[in-house]
Amino acid sequence: MFSFIRRKLKYLRNRPKGPKDEFTYSFLSNNLRDNIHNIQSIFGNSADIVIRNFTFGKDSSYEGALVFVDGLVDNIFISRSILSPLSDWKDTLESKDNLIEFIEKQILQNPEVKRLSTYDDAISDCLNGNTILFVNDCDTCLSISTKGFEKRAVTEPQSEAVVRGPREGYTENIRTNTSLIRRKIKSPSLRIENYVIGEKSKTNVALIYLEDVVNPDVLKKLRSRLKRIKVDAIFESGVLEEYIEDSSFSPFATIAYSEKPDVTAANILEGRIAIVVDGTPFVITVPMLFIESFQSAEDYYGRNLYTYLIRIVRYVAYLIAVFGPAFYISLVNYHQGLIPTTLLVTIINAREGTSFPIIIEIIIMLFAFEIMREAGIRLPRPMGQAISIVGALIMGEAAVNAGLVGAPVVIVVAITAVASFLIPNQSETIPVLRIFVLILATFAGLFGLVIGLLAILIHLASLTSFGVPYFSGFTRYNQDSIIRTQLKSMTKRPEGIAKNNIVRRGSNMKNYSIKENEAEDRVGVQI
Amino acid sequence: MTIAETKISGRQFMYSIICFIQASAILNAFISNITYQESWLVVIFAFIIFIPSVFMYGALINRFKDKNLIQIIIQIFGPVLGRIISVIYLIFFLSITMFNITDLTDITKTSMLPTTPYIILVMMCILITAWAVRSGLRVLTIYSKMYVFLASFIIILSIIFLFNVIEIGNLFPIFSLPLKKYVQGIHILNAIPFGELVVFLLIAPNVQMNKKQTYKYFFLGASIGAFSFFLTVLRDISVLGETFGMFVFPSLVAFRLIRITEAITRIEILFIVILIILLIFKISILYYVTVITVSQIFNLKKYKNIVLSVGFFLMTAAIVLSANSIQHTLAAQNGAPFIWVTLQIIFPFILLLISLIFNIKSPKEESK
Amino acid sequence: MKKIFILVFLLLCSLFLVGCWDAREINTLFIVTGIAIDKSEQEGFFDVSVIGIKTSPSRGGSQSSDDKDKKIVLKTTTRSIRDAFFHLNLNYDRTLYLQHNQIVIFGEDVAKDDLHRHLEFFVRSENSRMETLMLIVEGRADEVFKMDVKQEQNSTIYLFTHIQTISRRVKHYKISVLNFIANLLTEGFHSVIPIFAVNKNDDDDMPINMTGFAVFRNNKMIAKITDLEALGFVLLKGDVKNTNRTIISYDGMVSFDFDDIKTKKEIIYKDNYPIKIKITIEITASVEELLGFEKYSIQDLNRELHNIVQQEIINVATQTFKYFQELKVDVFGIGLSIYQHHPKKWNNLRNDWDNIFASLEVEINPKVVIKDYGQIVSIYNPGGVK
């Protein structure tokens, strides 16, 4: 049954999408009028396509036309850098053959000019915000970079706020984003590869990696997977993620995302590959390890000892978030002996007034929490806060007073919910696992919980992210997993991710206070 | 070749062995009512007697680097006779897997789910182990290190928490029983926790280690495992005293006595849960070995296809053959060890002897 | 991947077959905190009473139940303990939950008859706890449930807390069902269990008093030891944190705290038979109260007190040992230590141990160190100055 559904899905994904565009790879003609006509017919008189005909040269002997998309280009820039130099040129050439070359090399003052010879390239450049210059009697055209559309400035990221650390976040513009990364890693071995994905959307996608660190196997896999994508549109890196990840049925995300260039840069330095998608401020990195979810940028900017503590807190919080309700239900329904007698009496007292089985209570509360969370996220911020207050204070209190749920359940669900906020990267995994374990625990108590735990562990162990075992890092490499060691002794890149350049740096940085004290001692002896 | 593609490291192999023995430690009832408070002595003697077998296994692994036990048998005895002997091994593996499944369900029923039907527990156990077995040897053994640490942790923790009820006097007197009892105890221990290590002969070809490491890891694994078995028995005897021989699961009773302040008592379940994880690990190793044996006998290309079939057979067998705890212990004491020891120790020794006499090796080119 | 989904699917299906066999909503449970077992008037039958905590709905954490009705007592008369729980479950709306049972109380009559037959269930059943404390009550055990406790939720929790508190000083007060069974199985060793009496006096709020120890020969109670013998028992048994003794001598009165009592037993053999037991009792004593002794200087006082306490220990211990020799029960584990260290010799003694024990010679050898005199260094006598 499953295979049938999957085959059906596969078919739906890969079926042919309408007739192929006819202008593909057809070459430009010599005649300006034909070219313009063809362009017009391809665009079908779209309102935002501007075609500006003009003449130039001595006695206006040459004809030309500019084609651009209104809104994607900087109009003033066009007139200043293309039109005015052309109209200022009052000369003539002996041969018309090298006119276009002459214009490209001597007249235009733009930094980025390309010569194109097919409609396909011309159209796609035009749609990317370039201006296309056609000249009569030439079978090539010029694509001139005149991008100038509205874009958001670099601001502090919304989803990853930090107390200490850089506050810049990605924007929707791919160039800005790549430049943000380039500014962090000024190494010549930083490579940026461009891909265009999406039959209709023609989204620009850039791979960024360090040539000498990256694992070539991963890179090969990633390239082939990107090339295999045939879809209409990619609007967000999350869409791309689903197309290229190893197992999209798994509840675990095997591709990491970030909104902060410093996080991406650190990941690239460890040998990962960043994928920047035009139009979204979320940059994804592959391959991802499970432990990455528990690392945060501030772990490296803050005091080392404190990060020991905060890492452990995160792991405990993760366990609570996944197993909290299941553990509670197995205690209360199966192993009442484990609860201290006085606490048990209190819990029974709370349960006496309610009528639903405890599992129903927990499901009601978990459901209510998900509703409130969703409402809080989607609504504008002031209203979201109001919802939280109504939800947390009024509903929690009222539900207990009305005898709908017992107070302990409210506490359990609340702590579970708060705990899951500590690991934002796993926030889409936790609820799924929580329900899975909850069902098992409801039916078989702690035994069920253990079976659930083992199931999760087995699944985690068999997961891979671009061929790299997802759950590695705990077993093989311990410099930055359960605890973050001192930066001075963090000398190796994660194994499996960086294959050929494991050593981050030499371990010549000892503890300075000791070194200097030794020096002082020596001085003391000499004197 | 039907052996799994992936290779595991020697260390993981060692941790698996430790874990395998630690999982048996909870089931120390099979000697507790034979040698009573002297069981700890018997554990020491049994292990000393077992040491030559460890090196015998190591030698066998080193002589046949790329072959597992069944393949060795088939190579030495030829395809027909070899297969017949392999079927005996298959029955042996099936029966120890079954016994362990029964043990798991027994302890679950005694400690936490007394009225849940047998079939459900067996089914859940089979399904989860089937999943693990299907995922391959790497996934199967990846957590062995973690399990070893967990098991050692609970042994140490329980000793700390039970410190105020431990009576060293309970370990005495020594050498007060008739000699026959010691022999019986040593025999049983050599068959049940230690002799079961023969299953690692089927995993060994998938382990990356050189000749020296084979001995090192096998011996280290067996001795650390035996040491934790010894600690468990020591703890249970010193805590329970004369009642040690009375219970089906002495460790469970010992855990029951843990009391951390007045509020945190009755926490034996938390300890048992970890032991259940260990037992599931042991069962999955045995299950894997059974599946490998089946696929080897029938010369199958992929072992993964028969995992669930073997699982359902195991499930049915475990349910049909499940007996009450007294019958189970009697079987473990009187019936099984005599047949098992033949397969666990004597037969591999014969194999080694034959291969030495006729100079059979594998791979053949490795003759220096 | 597909196969794994089938596996998960099957896993979940198998769960639905479970049908929550062992799940119990906690508000359908009756939390038993104490069990009392008495002899019934009918021959061969027993009165089994069970006490539990009454729970009542509370909203927002405020406890609405009033103090008077916090306990529920159930009672039945049956042949065996399991039967009793079966009857009670049949006749009460909630299921009896034994995991939280704190204490098992036996009436004196039951204890004199056969204690073991009532304990078998607690050791065998996985629903009950074998580390439950046990004690004997003078008269009928179910009277304990009738008493009114002011401090705790019901009388058994009171008793449990009480025993926990006192056993922190003398661990021999705490005997669990498992301990008792282990003692029964151990060779050359007999148990004692603390014995309590319900206080019928209405003047104070102490509902129950500890009166001493019940002495068992195997599974039968044969005697009671009172206060003084209890002290002797504690001294001879050793391994005690703290106890106290007030001695009135010719010169005045002194009250000692005995800390860290350690007892060593040395057996002296002759012809394979132990003829003499040398018991060394090491005690760290501290003076807590001192009246009189005016005529002593500080140096003399120390010596004098030392003598007094040594003599007292010898007296009490010898007396107690004699008492147990008369009873012919070895509660100090002398036989056990022979068994543990000289199993071959024990084989000869085993069958006649009670008589051999009765005829043993004993030498008490106290080693007392007076460590502390409190905050006062001088001997003062307010009466004498004026």
- Percentage of residues of chain A with pLDDT beyond 70: 90
Would you call A461 and B138 a contact, using CB atoms and an 8 Å cutoff?
yes
Q: What pLDDT is stored for residue C250 in this prediction?
A: 83
Q: pLDDT, tens digit, for every residue of A137-147?
A: 888 888 888 88
Query: CB–CB of B269 and A475 under 8 A?
Result: no
Is there a contact between B117 and C18 if contact means CB atoms under 8 Å apart?
yes
Mean pLDDT of B140-166: 90
- The encoded tokens of residue B110 equal 């005694």
CA R_g for chain B: 20
* Predicted pLDDT at A13: 62
What average pLDDT does the segment A488-517 reach? Answer: 68
Alpha-carbon torsion (A224, A229, A233, A239), positive or negative = negative
pLDDT of amino acid C145:
87
Instruction: Measure Cα distances from A261 to A25, A210, A255, A481, C305 in Å.
Output: 38, 15, 16, 22, 82
How much is the pLDDT for A135? Answer: 86
DSSP string, C24-81: --GGGEEEEEEEEEEE-SSTT-EEEEEEEE-----BTTB----SS--EEEEEEEESSH
Q: Identify the band that residue A430 occupies on the pLDDT scale cut at 50, 70 and 90.
A: very high
Distance in angstroms (rounded) separating the CA atoms of residues B204 and B70:
12
Please check the confidence at residue B217 and state whether its pLDDT lies above 50: yes
What are the tens digits of pLDDT across the range B301-352?
888 888 888 998 998 888 887 777 777 777 777 777 788 888 888 889 998 9
Percent of chain B, pLDDT > 70? 97
Dist CA C221 CA C235 (whole Å): 22
Q: Any chain A CB within 8 A of the CB of B135?
A: yes
Asked if C58 and A337 come within 8 Å (Cβ–Cβ), the reply is no
Q: Which of B2, B45, B274, B4 is nearest to B137 (CA)?
A: B4
- Residue A524 has what pLDDT? 52
Please tell me the pTM assigned to this model.
0.87
Entry field: residues in chain A: 527
Helices (H), A335-380: 341-352, 358-378
The residue-averaged pLDDT of A192-221 equals 90
Q: How confident is the model at residue A325 (pLDDT cuts 50, 70, 90)?
A: very high
- The answer on pLDDT for B368 being more than 60 is no
Strand C29-39 vs strand C95-97: parallel, antiparallel, or unpaired? parallel
Phi-psi region of C385 (alpha: psi -120 to 50; beta: other; left: phi over 0): alpha
**CATH 3.30.300.210 residue ranges in chain C?**
227-386
Distance from CA of A174 to the nearest CA of B (A): 40
Q: How far away is chain B from the Cα of A390, in angstroms, using its nearest Cα?
A: 36
Per residue of chain C (386 residues), what is the pLDDT tens digit?
A: 666 677 677 766 766 665 677 788 888 889 999 999 999 888 889 999 999 888 877 654 444 445 556 788 999 999 888 899 999 999 998 889 988 898 999 999 888 888 888 888 888 888 888 889 998 999 888 888 888 887 777 888 888 989 988 888 888 888 999 989 988 888 888 888 989 988 887 778 888 888 888 998 888 888 888 877 788 888 888 888 888 888 888 888 888 888 888 888 888 887 777 778 899 999 998 888 888 888 888 788 888 888 888 998 999 889 888 888 888 888 888 888 888 888 888 888 888 888 888 888 888 888 988 888 888 877 776 765 44
**Residue A265's pLDDT band (cuts 50, 70, 90):** very high
Arithmetic mean of pLDDT, B78-96: 91
How many CB atoms lie under 10 A from the CB of residue A64?
A: 24
Q: Which residue of B has its CA nearest to C340?
A: B173
At A102, the pLDDT band (50, 70, 90 cuts) reads: confident
Bridge partners, C198 (sequence order): C208
Q: How many Cβ pairs within 8 Å bridge chains A and C? A: 97
Would the pLDDT of A92 be above 80? no
What number does CATH give the domain C227-386? 3.30.300.210
Instruction: Give the pLDDT confidence of B34-67 residue by residue, as tens digits.
Output: 888 888 999 999 999 999 999 999 999 888 888 8
For residues C69 and C98, the answer to whether their CB atoms sit within 8 Å is no
**Which of A68-82, A95-109, A215-229 is predicted least confidently?**
A95-109
Quick one: pLDDT band at residue A323, thresholds 50, 70, 90? Answer: very high
CB atoms within 10 A of CB B263: 11
Q: What is the pLDDT of residue A277?
A: 93
Residues with Cβ < 8 Å from C294, sequence gap 6 or more?
C252, C379, C381, C384
pLDDT of residue A330: 92
Tens of pLDDT, residue by residue over B259-282, are: 887 778 888 888 888 889 999 999
Number of H helices and number of E strands within chain C? 13, 13
Q: Which residues of C touch A (CB under 8 A)?
A: 1-2, 4-6, 8, 11-12, 15-16, 18-20, 22-27, 29, 31, 33, 53, 55-61, 63, 97, 99-100, 102, 129, 153, 157
Nearest neighbour of C100 by CB, restricted to A2, A341, A440: A341
Proportion of chain C in helix, strand, coil states, percent, rounded to 5: 35, 35, 30
Optimal mutation site among A339, A436, A439, A454, interface B, most CBs of chain B within 10 A: A454
Identity of the residue numbered C45: F
pLDDT score for A58: 80
Considering only CB atoms, A340 lies closest to which of B112, B116, B263, namely B263
Residue C282 DSSP label = E
Q: What is the pLDDT of residue A22?
A: 47
Q: pLDDT-based confidence at A508, cuts 50/70/90? A: low
CB < 8 Å to A345, chain C: 31, 53, 55, 153
For residue C98, the chain B residue with the least C-alpha distance is B266
Chain A interface residues (partner C, CB cutoff 8 A): 2-3, 6, 247, 249, 332-334, 336-337, 341, 344-353, 357-358, 397, 400-401, 403, 407, 439-440, 442-445, 448, 451, 455, 459
Instruction: Verify whether the Cβ–Cβ distance C5 to A249 is below 8 Å.
Output: yes
Q: Which pLDDT score, from 0 to 100, does residue A516 have?
A: 60
Question: What is the C-alpha R_g of chain C?
Answer: 26
Higher local confidence (pLDDT), A521 or A128:
A128
- Domain ranges in chain A are 32-145, 174-300, 303-462
pLDDT at residue B337 in the model: 78
3-state DSSP assignment of residue A27: strand
Interface contacts A/B by beta carbons within 8 Å: 65
Under 8 Å between Cβ of C75 and C92:
no
pLDDT for A19 equals 45
Cβ distance of C59 and A353 shorter than 8 Å: yes
- Could you give all domains of chain B from N- to C-terminal order, each with its CATH number? 8-357 (1.20.1740.10)
